[in-house]
């Protein structure tokens, strides 16, 4: 029997595969800590690191990115310059956050979401492989 988050991941798979093919990127979906759906992007011809706008205090010299998807799509997209990377993140956001909800009350320390989502561009052990277009 599948848990709720496993069912959500399974329903996203065909749509995410279409996004990866459309943007010519290699990646895979996984579940972390029973509450987060993660798209790990391994290789492609989109230069995410040069398109990323770091927040104050973030390390600018990393060779990977962990993009936590916010319930506000424009906030998430504002962290990337217009172009291929932003278009890819937007398409992934639409798939990862479809049918998700956020009824959180941070002032009351009550967090009620369907699931958390993030996009990992490479990781600490194996950086994103940028291929020539």
pLDDT value for 71: 82
Phi-psi region of 99 (alpha: psi -120 to 50; beta: other; left: phi over 0): left
Lowest mean pLDDT among 36-50, 60-74, 86-100: 60-74
Nearest to 9 by CA among 32, 25, 41, 26: 32
Dump pLDDT digits (tens) for 86-131.
999 999 999 999 988 888 777 777 777 889 899 999 988 889 999 8
H helical segments located in the chain: 4-22, 48-51, 73-77, 84-96
Query: Rounded mean pLDDT of 36-45?
Result: 95
Q: Does 1 score more than 60 pLDDT? A: no
Indicate the SS3 state at residue 66: strand
Nearest to 63 by CA among 12, 120, 109: 120
């Amino acid at each position: 029997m599948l848990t709720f988050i496993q069912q959500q991941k399974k329903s996203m798979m065909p749509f995410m595969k279409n996004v990866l093919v459309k943007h010519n990127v290699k990646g895979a979906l996984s579940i972390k800590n029973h509450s987060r759906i993660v798209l790990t992007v391994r290789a492609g011809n989109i230069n995410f690191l040069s398109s990323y706008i770091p927040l104050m205090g973030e390390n600018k010299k990393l060779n990977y990115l962990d993009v936590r998807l916010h319930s506000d799509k424009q906030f998430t997209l504002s962290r990337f310059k217009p172009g291929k990377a932003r278009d890819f993140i937007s398409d992934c956001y639409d798939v990862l956050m479809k049918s998700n909800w956020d009824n959180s009350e941070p002032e009351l320390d009550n967090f009620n979401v369907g699931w958390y989502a993030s996009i990992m561009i490479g990781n600490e052990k194996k950086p994103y492989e940028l291929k020539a277009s």
